[in-house]
Amino acid sequence: MATLARSQSPALGATNGAGMAAVLGAGIGSSAMAAFVLLNEAGLFAAPALYGAAGGVTGRTTFATIVWLLAWGALHARWRSREVASGPVFTWTVVLVALAIIATLPPVWGVL
């Protein structure tokens, strides 16, 4: 059985900035969704229903998707040709996603 040897060093000119932008953008988008949910539950923001049968969740998810795409695009434009440390990016992404999950639990809404 033949195995292919992989080089331990990245190819010349290879950067990870675009990938790290996508990872952190996902964390930012997740926290945006949580923020829209909390604002809706507190009565401070009512997203329009883009599809009547689904209700306001369609508006909240659309706004969160827009925030995610803007964050991803801005980070990509800034980091695309750079080598970005993956540790802090993954740490921040995990923290943002974890906070988003906690914030979208119904018991948290009761605190508002």
- Mark 87-106 as b/e (b = at least 16 C-beta within 10 Å): eebeeebeebbeebeebbee
pLDDT of residue 11: 57
User: Are the beta carbons of 38 and 101 closer than 8 angstroms?
Assistant: no
pLDDT of residue 13: 66
Q: Which residues contact 74 (CB under 8 A, 6 or more apart)?
A: none
pLDDT of residue 4: 45
Tell me which residues of the chain have a pLDDT lower than 70. Answer: 1-13, 112
Give φ, ψ of 69 to 5 degrees: -65, -40
CA dihedral 32, 37, 40, 44 (to 10 degrees): -40
Domain ranges of the chain: 17-111
Q: Which residues contact 16 (CB under 8 A, 6 or more apart)?
A: 83, 84, 86
